Structure 1
Amino acid sequence: MEGFLLNVKSTNISWHRALVDREMREKLLGQNGILIWFTGLSGSGKSTIASELEMRLYNMGRLTYLLDGDNVRHGLNSNLGFTKEDRIENIRRTAEVCKLFVDSGIITISTFISPFKDDRDKVRKLLGKDFVEVYVDCPLEVCESRDPKGIYKKARNGEIKDFTGVDSPYEVPDNPEIVVSTNLDTVQQCVNKILDFLSCKVQE
Protein backbone atom coordinates (compact mmCIF):
# COMPACT_ATOMS: atom_id res chain seq x y z
CA MET A 1 0.00 0.00 0.00
CA GLU A 2 1.39 3.39 -0.94
CA GLY A 3 1.61 6.14 1.63
CA PHE A 4 0.41 9.70 1.24
CA LEU A 5 1.82 11.29 -1.91
CA LEU A 6 4.13 14.15 -1.04
CA ASN A 7 5.74 16.92 -3.00
CA VAL A 8 8.91 16.77 -0.95
CA LYS A 9 10.84 20.02 -1.06
CA SER A 10 13.01 19.68 2.05
CA THR A 11 16.68 18.97 1.36
CA ASN A 12 19.86 18.65 3.42
CA ILE A 13 17.96 17.40 6.47
CA SER A 14 18.49 14.43 8.76
CA TRP A 15 16.45 12.85 11.54
CA HIS A 16 17.54 13.97 15.00
CA ARG A 17 17.32 11.23 17.60
CA ALA A 18 16.45 12.63 21.03
CA LEU A 19 17.88 11.30 24.30
CA VAL A 20 14.37 10.79 25.70
CA ASP A 21 12.48 8.16 23.70
CA ARG A 22 8.89 6.96 23.56
CA GLU A 23 9.44 4.09 25.98
CA MET A 24 10.77 6.52 28.60
CA ARG A 25 7.83 8.89 28.13
CA GLU A 26 5.28 6.09 28.38
CA LYS A 27 6.93 4.82 31.54
CA LEU A 28 6.76 8.31 33.06
CA LEU A 29 3.05 8.63 32.17
CA GLY A 30 2.15 5.06 33.08
CA GLN A 31 0.28 4.55 29.83
CA ASN A 32 0.76 3.62 26.20
CA GLY A 33 0.37 6.12 23.38
CA ILE A 34 -2.39 5.22 20.95
CA LEU A 35 -4.53 6.85 18.25
CA ILE A 36 -8.30 6.44 18.43
CA TRP A 37 -9.56 7.56 15.02
CA PHE A 38 -13.30 8.35 14.86
CA THR A 39 -14.84 8.31 11.39
CA GLY A 40 -18.43 8.76 10.29
CA LEU A 41 -20.90 11.13 8.68
CA SER A 42 -21.38 14.68 9.86
CA GLY A 43 -23.94 14.57 12.67
CA SER A 44 -23.28 10.91 13.46
CA GLY A 45 -22.05 11.76 16.96
CA LYS A 46 -18.28 11.54 16.59
CA SER A 47 -17.45 14.67 18.60
CA THR A 48 -20.02 13.92 21.30
CA ILE A 49 -18.72 10.40 21.92
CA ALA A 50 -15.07 11.43 21.62
CA SER A 51 -15.52 14.23 24.15
CA GLU A 52 -17.20 11.91 26.63
CA LEU A 53 -14.50 9.30 26.06
CA GLU A 54 -11.80 11.88 26.76
CA MET A 55 -13.53 12.95 29.99
CA ARG A 56 -13.86 9.35 31.14
CA LEU A 57 -10.17 8.71 30.42
CA TYR A 58 -9.22 11.94 32.21
CA ASN A 59 -11.20 10.85 35.26
CA MET A 60 -9.24 7.58 35.13
CA GLY A 61 -6.01 9.54 35.35
CA ARG A 62 -5.04 9.18 31.69
CA LEU A 63 -3.35 11.91 29.65
CA THR A 64 -5.28 12.53 26.43
CA TYR A 65 -5.62 15.03 23.62
CA LEU A 66 -8.59 15.40 21.27
CA LEU A 67 -8.04 16.64 17.72
CA ASP A 68 -11.39 17.78 16.35
CA GLY A 69 -11.76 18.14 12.59
CA ASP A 70 -13.20 21.66 12.73
CA ASN A 71 -10.66 22.81 15.30
CA VAL A 72 -7.72 21.65 13.19
CA ARG A 73 -9.14 23.53 10.20
CA HIS A 74 -9.11 26.73 12.28
CA GLY A 75 -5.31 26.62 12.46
CA LEU A 76 -3.00 24.03 10.97
CA ASN A 77 -5.27 23.29 8.01
CA SER A 78 -6.96 26.68 7.61
CA ASN A 79 -5.59 26.97 4.07
CA LEU A 80 -7.40 23.82 2.92
CA GLY A 81 -10.86 23.63 1.35
CA PHE A 82 -13.07 20.62 0.72
CA THR A 83 -11.99 19.41 -2.68
CA LYS A 84 -10.89 15.78 -2.74
CA GLU A 85 -7.27 16.88 -2.96
CA ASP A 86 -7.60 19.19 0.04
CA ARG A 87 -9.39 16.53 2.05
CA ILE A 88 -6.53 14.11 1.40
CA GLU A 89 -4.01 16.72 2.53
CA ASN A 90 -6.16 17.49 5.58
CA ILE A 91 -5.97 13.87 6.67
CA ARG A 92 -2.26 13.56 5.80
CA ARG A 93 -1.26 16.52 7.97
CA THR A 94 -3.51 15.39 10.80
CA ALA A 95 -2.09 11.87 10.69
CA GLU A 96 1.45 13.20 11.03
CA VAL A 97 0.43 15.33 14.03
CA CYS A 98 -1.31 12.32 15.59
CA LYS A 99 1.85 10.26 15.12
CA LEU A 100 3.83 12.84 17.11
CA PHE A 101 1.25 12.85 19.90
CA VAL A 102 1.29 9.05 20.09
CA ASP A 103 5.09 9.05 20.16
CA SER A 104 4.86 11.38 23.16
CA GLY A 105 2.85 8.70 24.99
CA ILE A 106 -0.49 10.50 24.80
CA ILE A 107 -3.81 8.76 24.21
CA THR A 108 -4.79 10.68 21.08
CA ILE A 109 -8.39 10.99 19.91
CA SER A 110 -9.29 12.33 16.48
CA THR A 111 -12.74 13.10 15.05
CA PHE A 112 -12.70 13.46 11.28
CA ILE A 113 -15.33 12.48 8.74
CA SER A 114 -12.40 11.06 6.71
CA PRO A 115 -14.76 9.68 4.06
CA PHE A 116 -12.23 7.83 1.89
CA LYS A 117 -11.02 4.32 2.77
CA ASP A 118 -7.68 4.89 1.10
CA ASP A 119 -6.88 7.86 3.34
CA ARG A 120 -7.83 5.97 6.50
CA ASP A 121 -5.76 2.99 5.39
CA LYS A 122 -2.75 5.28 4.96
CA VAL A 123 -3.21 6.58 8.49
CA ARG A 124 -3.37 2.97 9.67
CA LYS A 125 -0.14 2.19 7.83
CA LEU A 126 1.56 5.25 9.33
CA LEU A 127 0.53 4.39 12.91
CA GLY A 128 0.63 0.60 12.66
CA LYS A 129 -0.46 -1.20 15.84
CA ASP A 130 -1.16 2.15 17.51
CA PHE A 131 -4.16 2.83 15.23
CA VAL A 132 -7.69 2.07 16.42
CA GLU A 133 -10.48 2.87 13.98
CA VAL A 134 -13.88 3.66 15.48
CA TYR A 135 -16.71 3.75 12.95
CA VAL A 136 -19.61 5.83 14.23
CA ASP A 137 -22.46 4.20 12.39
CA CYS A 138 -25.60 6.26 11.96
CA PRO A 139 -28.06 6.34 9.04
CA LEU A 140 -27.84 9.40 6.80
CA GLU A 141 -31.45 10.34 7.46
CA VAL A 142 -30.80 10.40 11.22
CA CYS A 143 -27.66 12.50 10.81
CA GLU A 144 -29.53 14.87 8.55
CA SER A 145 -32.43 15.18 11.00
CA ARG A 146 -29.95 16.21 13.71
CA ASP A 147 -28.02 18.65 11.47
CA PRO A 148 -26.46 20.51 14.46
CA LYS A 149 -24.58 22.94 12.21
CA GLY A 150 -27.31 23.40 9.60
CA ILE A 151 -24.95 22.21 6.90
CA TYR A 152 -27.07 19.41 5.44
CA LYS A 153 -29.74 21.99 4.68
CA LYS A 154 -27.14 24.21 2.98
CA ALA A 155 -25.83 21.23 1.02
CA ARG A 156 -29.33 20.27 -0.14
CA ASN A 157 -29.89 23.88 -1.21
CA GLY A 158 -26.69 23.85 -3.24
CA GLU A 159 -24.91 26.32 -0.96
CA ILE A 160 -22.20 23.76 -0.10
CA LYS A 161 -20.63 21.58 -2.78
CA ASP A 162 -18.95 18.18 -2.40
CA PHE A 163 -20.65 17.53 0.92
CA THR A 164 -20.20 14.01 2.28
CA GLY A 165 -23.43 12.03 2.16
CA VAL A 166 -25.14 14.44 -0.22
CA ASP A 167 -23.03 14.91 -3.35
CA SER A 168 -19.79 13.28 -2.20
CA PRO A 169 -19.52 9.65 -1.04
CA TYR A 170 -18.74 8.23 2.38
CA GLU A 171 -16.92 4.91 2.16
CA VAL A 172 -17.82 2.69 5.11
CA PRO A 173 -14.81 1.02 6.82
CA ASP A 174 -14.34 -2.66 5.96
CA ASN A 175 -12.82 -3.86 9.24
CA PRO A 176 -12.84 -1.17 11.93
CA GLU A 177 -11.69 -2.21 15.39
CA ILE A 178 -14.86 -0.78 16.90
CA VAL A 179 -18.34 0.03 15.58
CA VAL A 180 -20.76 2.11 17.63
CA SER A 181 -24.32 2.82 16.55
CA THR A 182 -25.47 6.18 17.85
CA ASN A 183 -29.04 5.74 16.63
CA LEU A 184 -29.39 2.59 18.75
CA ASP A 185 -27.17 3.10 21.80
CA THR A 186 -26.65 5.91 24.29
CA VAL A 187 -23.46 7.94 24.44
CA GLN A 188 -22.48 6.12 27.63
CA GLN A 189 -23.03 2.71 26.03
CA CYS A 190 -20.88 3.71 23.06
CA VAL A 191 -18.11 4.98 25.33
CA ASN A 192 -18.24 1.82 27.46
CA LYS A 193 -17.77 -0.29 24.33
CA ILE A 194 -14.68 1.70 23.35
CA LEU A 195 -13.22 1.58 26.87
CA ASP A 196 -13.71 -2.18 27.00
CA PHE A 197 -11.66 -2.51 23.83
CA LEU A 198 -8.95 -0.11 25.03
CA SER A 199 -8.57 -1.53 28.53
CA CYS A 200 -5.63 -3.77 27.62
CA LYS A 201 -4.01 -1.31 25.20
CA VAL A 202 -3.47 1.91 27.14
CA GLN A 203 -2.19 0.58 30.46
CA GLU A 204 1.57 0.63 30.94
Structure 2
Amino acid sequence: MMRAPTGESDMAKKERCVESAAQPAADGIVVAKELRKTYDSGKVKVDALKGVHFSVKEGEMVAVMGPSGCGKTTLLNCLSGLDDLSGGEVYIRGKPLSAMNDRERTAYRAQKIGFIFQAYNLLPVLTSVENVELPLLLAGKSPKDARKGALEALKAVGLEEWQHHKPSELSGGQQQRVTIARSLVNKPEIVFGDEPTGNLDSESSKDVMELLRKLN
Protein backbone atom coordinates (compact mmCIF):
# COMPACT_ATOMS: atom_id res chain seq x y z
CA MET A 1 0.00 0.00 0.00
CA MET A 2 1.29 3.41 -0.86
CA ARG A 3 0.33 6.93 0.09
CA ALA A 4 0.38 9.01 -3.08
CA PRO A 5 0.64 12.78 -3.57
CA THR A 6 -2.62 14.40 -4.62
CA GLY A 7 -1.35 15.53 -8.01
CA GLU A 8 -0.21 12.11 -9.22
CA SER A 9 -2.71 11.65 -12.04
CA ASP A 10 -1.20 8.42 -13.36
CA MET A 11 -2.31 6.71 -10.17
CA ALA A 12 -5.86 8.07 -10.28
CA LYS A 13 -7.28 4.77 -11.44
CA LYS A 14 -5.86 3.14 -8.33
CA GLU A 15 -7.52 5.60 -5.98
CA ARG A 16 -9.24 4.01 -3.01
CA CYS A 17 -11.54 6.20 -0.92
CA VAL A 18 -11.06 4.57 2.47
CA GLU A 19 -14.02 6.25 4.14
CA SER A 20 -16.53 5.03 1.57
CA ALA A 21 -15.03 1.65 0.70
CA ALA A 22 -17.13 -1.49 0.79
CA GLN A 23 -16.89 -3.82 3.77
CA PRO A 24 -13.38 -5.34 3.67
CA ALA A 25 -12.90 -8.87 2.46
CA ALA A 26 -11.81 -11.31 5.15
CA ASP A 27 -9.14 -12.88 2.95
CA GLY A 28 -7.05 -9.74 2.34
CA ILE A 29 -3.39 -9.76 3.30
CA VAL A 30 -4.15 -6.45 5.06
CA VAL A 31 -7.63 -5.85 6.44
CA ALA A 32 -8.63 -2.65 8.22
CA LYS A 33 -11.89 -2.58 10.16
CA GLU A 34 -13.38 0.65 11.50
CA LEU A 35 -10.00 2.26 12.20
CA ARG A 36 -10.11 5.30 14.44
CA LYS A 37 -7.26 7.51 15.57
CA THR A 38 -7.73 10.59 17.73
CA TYR A 39 -4.95 12.93 18.80
CA ASP A 40 -5.78 14.68 22.08
CA SER A 41 -3.49 17.49 23.24
CA GLY A 42 -5.71 18.23 26.21
CA LYS A 43 -7.14 21.34 24.60
CA VAL A 44 -7.84 20.14 21.09
CA LYS A 45 -8.96 16.78 19.77
CA VAL A 46 -8.23 15.84 16.17
CA ASP A 47 -9.89 12.82 14.58
CA ALA A 48 -7.25 11.73 12.06
CA LEU A 49 -9.04 8.48 11.18
CA LYS A 50 -12.79 8.02 11.46
CA GLY A 51 -14.14 4.55 10.79
CA VAL A 52 -11.73 3.62 7.99
CA HIS A 53 -12.30 0.16 6.54
CA PHE A 54 -10.86 -1.62 3.51
CA SER A 55 -8.83 -4.66 2.50
CA VAL A 56 -5.82 -5.23 0.27
CA LYS A 57 -5.35 -8.54 -1.50
CA GLU A 58 -1.98 -10.15 -2.05
CA GLY A 59 -0.31 -8.72 -5.16
CA GLU A 60 -2.61 -5.69 -5.23
CA MET A 61 -1.13 -2.20 -5.59
CA VAL A 62 -3.20 0.50 -3.90
CA ALA A 63 -2.82 4.27 -3.58
CA VAL A 64 -4.52 6.28 -0.84
CA MET A 65 -5.03 9.81 -2.11
CA GLY A 66 -6.26 12.98 -0.47
CA PRO A 67 -5.34 16.53 0.57
CA SER A 68 -2.53 17.31 2.98
CA GLY A 69 -3.48 16.64 6.58
CA CYS A 70 -6.32 14.22 5.84
CA GLY A 71 -4.65 11.31 7.68
CA LYS A 72 -2.74 9.39 5.01
CA THR A 73 0.50 9.14 6.98
CA THR A 74 -1.42 8.36 10.16
CA LEU A 75 -3.13 5.50 8.34
CA LEU A 76 0.20 4.04 7.18
CA ASN A 77 1.66 4.38 10.68
CA CYS A 78 -1.29 2.52 12.18
CA LEU A 79 -1.25 -0.20 9.52
CA SER A 80 2.45 -0.81 10.11
CA GLY A 81 2.19 -0.82 13.89
CA LEU A 82 4.25 2.35 14.32
CA ASP A 83 1.29 4.06 15.98
CA ASP A 84 -1.50 2.72 18.17
CA LEU A 85 -5.13 2.97 17.16
CA SER A 86 -7.84 4.64 19.21
CA GLY A 87 -10.32 2.07 17.92
CA GLY A 88 -10.84 -0.61 15.31
CA GLU A 89 -8.46 -3.35 14.25
CA VAL A 90 -5.81 -4.13 11.64
CA TYR A 91 -5.45 -7.75 10.54
CA ILE A 92 -2.31 -9.02 8.84
CA ARG A 93 -3.00 -12.38 7.21
CA GLY A 94 -5.87 -12.77 9.63
CA LYS A 95 -3.88 -11.98 12.77
CA PRO A 96 -4.93 -8.86 14.70
CA LEU A 97 -2.12 -6.35 15.08
CA SER A 98 -3.32 -5.49 18.59
CA ALA A 99 -2.58 -9.06 19.68
CA MET A 100 1.14 -8.56 19.03
CA ASN A 101 3.41 -7.40 21.84
CA ASP A 102 6.18 -4.87 21.25
CA ARG A 103 8.72 -7.55 20.33
CA GLU A 104 6.34 -9.18 17.85
CA ARG A 105 5.52 -5.82 16.27
CA THR A 106 9.21 -5.04 15.87
CA ALA A 107 9.78 -8.42 14.23
CA TYR A 108 6.71 -7.87 12.02
CA ARG A 109 8.09 -4.56 10.75
CA ALA A 110 11.62 -5.91 10.30
CA GLN A 111 10.67 -9.13 8.53
CA LYS A 112 7.32 -8.57 6.84
CA ILE A 113 7.23 -4.88 5.88
CA GLY A 114 9.25 -2.61 3.62
CA PHE A 115 9.08 1.18 3.87
CA ILE A 116 9.65 3.72 1.09
CA PHE A 117 9.94 7.27 2.41
CA GLN A 118 9.47 10.57 0.59
CA ALA A 119 12.66 11.94 2.18
CA TYR A 120 14.66 8.76 1.30
CA ASN A 121 16.11 8.46 4.86
CA LEU A 122 19.42 7.16 3.55
CA LEU A 123 22.43 7.39 5.86
CA PRO A 124 24.72 9.97 4.22
CA VAL A 125 27.99 8.37 5.37
CA LEU A 126 27.14 5.00 3.82
CA THR A 127 27.34 3.95 0.19
CA SER A 128 24.34 2.65 -1.73
CA VAL A 129 25.17 -0.99 -1.05
CA GLU A 130 25.86 -0.28 2.63
CA ASN A 131 22.50 1.47 3.02
CA VAL A 132 20.69 -1.42 1.35
CA GLU A 133 22.43 -4.18 3.31
CA LEU A 134 21.78 -2.52 6.67
CA PRO A 135 18.33 -4.15 7.25
CA LEU A 136 19.85 -7.57 6.57
CA LEU A 137 22.68 -6.98 9.04
CA LEU A 138 20.19 -5.81 11.67
CA ALA A 139 18.18 -8.97 11.02
CA GLY A 140 21.23 -11.08 11.87
CA LYS A 141 22.47 -11.98 8.39
CA SER A 142 26.19 -12.52 7.94
CA PRO A 143 28.12 -9.68 6.25
CA LYS A 144 28.68 -11.92 3.22
CA ASP A 145 25.00 -12.81 2.84
CA ALA A 146 23.93 -9.23 3.52
CA ARG A 147 26.23 -7.88 0.82
CA LYS A 148 25.00 -10.50 -1.65
CA GLY A 149 21.36 -9.64 -0.95
CA ALA A 150 22.04 -5.91 -1.22
CA LEU A 151 23.75 -6.29 -4.59
CA GLU A 152 20.83 -8.35 -5.90
CA ALA A 153 18.39 -5.66 -4.74
CA LEU A 154 20.43 -2.88 -6.36
CA LYS A 155 20.58 -4.87 -9.58
CA ALA A 156 16.79 -5.21 -9.52
CA VAL A 157 16.41 -1.41 -9.46
CA GLY A 158 19.13 -0.81 -12.05
CA LEU A 159 21.77 0.66 -9.73
CA GLU A 160 24.34 -2.10 -9.45
CA GLU A 161 26.99 0.15 -11.03
CA TRP A 162 26.29 2.85 -8.42
CA GLN A 163 26.79 0.57 -5.42
CA HIS A 164 29.83 2.47 -4.08
CA HIS A 165 28.30 5.95 -4.40
CA LYS A 166 27.04 7.84 -1.36
CA PRO A 167 23.62 9.58 -1.40
CA SER A 168 25.17 13.00 -2.09
CA GLU A 169 26.61 11.57 -5.31
CA LEU A 170 23.23 10.38 -6.59
CA SER A 171 20.29 12.16 -8.19
CA GLY A 172 16.92 12.27 -6.43
CA GLY A 173 15.58 9.49 -8.63
CA GLN A 174 18.62 7.34 -7.95
CA GLN A 175 18.34 7.91 -4.20
CA GLN A 176 14.71 6.81 -4.32
CA ARG A 177 15.75 3.67 -6.21
CA VAL A 178 18.22 2.91 -3.42
CA THR A 179 15.37 3.40 -0.94
CA ILE A 180 13.22 0.97 -2.93
CA ALA A 181 16.06 -1.56 -3.00
CA ARG A 182 16.44 -1.22 0.77
CA SER A 183 12.70 -1.70 1.27
CA LEU A 184 12.73 -4.91 -0.79
CA VAL A 185 16.00 -6.47 0.37
CA ASN A 186 14.29 -8.48 3.14
CA LYS A 187 11.72 -9.75 0.63
CA PRO A 188 8.80 -8.29 2.62
CA GLU A 189 5.20 -9.36 2.18
CA ILE A 190 3.97 -5.76 2.29
CA VAL A 191 5.57 -2.49 1.16
CA PHE A 192 4.30 0.86 2.44
CA GLY A 193 5.24 4.02 0.58
CA ASP A 194 4.66 7.49 2.02
CA GLU A 195 4.55 9.77 -1.04
CA PRO A 196 7.39 7.82 -2.69
CA THR A 197 7.57 10.28 -5.60
CA GLY A 198 6.82 13.46 -3.67
CA ASN A 199 10.36 14.88 -4.01
CA LEU A 200 10.88 13.87 -7.64
CA ASP A 201 10.28 15.61 -10.96
CA SER A 202 7.56 14.27 -13.25
CA GLU A 203 9.88 12.12 -15.36
CA SER A 204 11.62 10.56 -12.34
CA SER A 205 8.22 10.03 -10.70
CA LYS A 206 7.02 8.14 -13.75
CA ASP A 207 10.16 5.98 -13.76
CA VAL A 208 9.83 5.14 -10.06
CA MET A 209 6.14 4.22 -10.35
CA GLU A 210 6.88 2.03 -13.36
CA LEU A 211 9.67 0.33 -11.39
CA LEU A 212 7.30 -0.33 -8.48
CA ARG A 213 4.73 -1.85 -10.83
CA LYS A 214 7.42 -4.04 -12.37
CA LEU A 215 8.69 -5.25 -9.00
CA ASN A 216 5.22 -5.82 -7.53
- Under a length normalisation based on structure 2, what TM-score does the superposition of the two structures give? 0.31
Higher relative contact order structure (alpha carbons within 8 Å, sequence separation ≥ 6): 1
Given the two structures, how large is their TM-score scaled by the length of structure 1?
Answer: 0.32
Greater strand fraction, Structure 1 or Structure 2: 2
